[in-house]
């Protein structure tokens, strides 16, 4: 049995219609990713504020808390820092996907332009043949080479963005180490950025 493949669409008007539908879907996905990015940033800010509140409370009231209470508060900070890193990792992924979608949108627009330009070049070639003025082959070849070069650049950019999604953040300290950092005034620099 032969392999089943989707027949290629050859009609330029149908190609443009399909690409326009795809462009609309990508635009909706970009809007959704912008919402996810905004929410992740807000969540990170809220987590950072909670971390700073607990750390400041620990510093100010360290002599009135028992060792168990201090360790519990340090454990709470550690859990919040874990949440912060998790949301931050999601934000990095959302940003990378957002960039990928924007690149896809650009490629779709370029493909639509390419189809339109090819149609114009075909019409130009037909006119030249009718009037016997010139051979359109060099123009068509140059256009094709330019499009091929742009596609290679776009693919290279996409591959670099995908590779960036695989980078991991370093781990967090233990609650004991974190408690010492907080109480000694060194702060915690491994997770959330300082609040302003």
Per-residue pLDDT of 9-46, as tens digits, reads 788 889 899 999 999 999 999 999 999 999 999 999 99
pLDDT at 165: 40
Q: Which residue has the higher pLDDT, 50 or 180?
A: 50
Q: Which residue has the higher pLDDT, 177 or 56?
A: 56
Residue 141 lies in a domain: yes
Residue 167 reports pLDDT greater than 50: no
175 with 75: CB under 8 angstroms? yes
- Structural domain contains residue 65: yes
Asked whether residue 190 is assigned to any structural domain, the reply reads no
Give percent of the chain above pLDDT 90. Answer: 47
In a domain, 28, yes or no: yes
- For the residues 152-167, what does the mean pLDDT come to? 61
Domain total in the chain: 1
| Residue 4 lies inside a defined structural domain of this protein | no
Range scoring the smallest mean pLDDT among 64-68, 141-145, 165-169: 165-169
Residue numbers of the domain that contains 122: 14-183
Q: What's 9's DSSP letter?
A: P
Coil vs helix vs strand at 158: helix
Between these two residues, 100 and 135, which has the higher pLDDT value? 100
Looking at residue 186, what is its pLDDT? 64
List the single range of 63-72, 156-165, 177-186 with lowest mean pLDDT.
156-165
Instruction: Name the residue with higher pLDDT: 176 or 84.
Output: 84
Burial 127-162 (b: 16+ CB within 10 A, else e): eeeeeeeeebeeeeeeeeeebeeeeeeeeeeeeeee
Residue 88 placed within a domain: yes
The CA-atom distances, in angstroms, between 165 and each of 15, 118, 159, 161, 169 are: 32, 36, 10, 7, 11
Percent of the chain with pLDDT over 70: 80
- 77, part of any domain: yes
Whether residue 146 is contained in a domain is answered as yes
pLDDT at 2: 53
């Amino acid at each position: 049995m032969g392999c089943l493949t989707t027949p290629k669409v050859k009609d330029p008007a149908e190609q443009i219609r399909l690409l326009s539908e795809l462009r609309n879907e990508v635009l909706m996905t970009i809007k959704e990713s912008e919402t996810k990015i905004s929410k992740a940033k807000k969540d990170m800010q809220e987590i950072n504020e909670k971390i700073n509140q607990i750390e400041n409370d620990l510093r100010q009231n360290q002599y009135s808390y028992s060792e168990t209470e201090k360790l519990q508060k340090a454990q709470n900070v550690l859990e919040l820092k874990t949440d912060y890193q998790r949301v931050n990792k999601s934000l990095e992924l959302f940003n990378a996907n957002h960039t990928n979608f924007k690149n896809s949108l650009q490629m779709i627009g370029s493909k639509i332009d390419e189809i339109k330009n090819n149609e114009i070049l075909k019409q130009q070639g037909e006119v030249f043949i009718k009037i016997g003025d010139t051979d359109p082959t060099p123009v068509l070849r140059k256009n094709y080479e330019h499009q091929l070069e742009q596609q290679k650049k776009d693919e290279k950019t996409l591959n670099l963005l995908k590779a960036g999604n695989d980078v991991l953040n370093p781990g967090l300290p233990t609650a004991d180490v974190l408690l010492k950092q907080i109480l000694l005034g060194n702060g915690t620099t491994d997770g959330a950025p300082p609040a302003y």
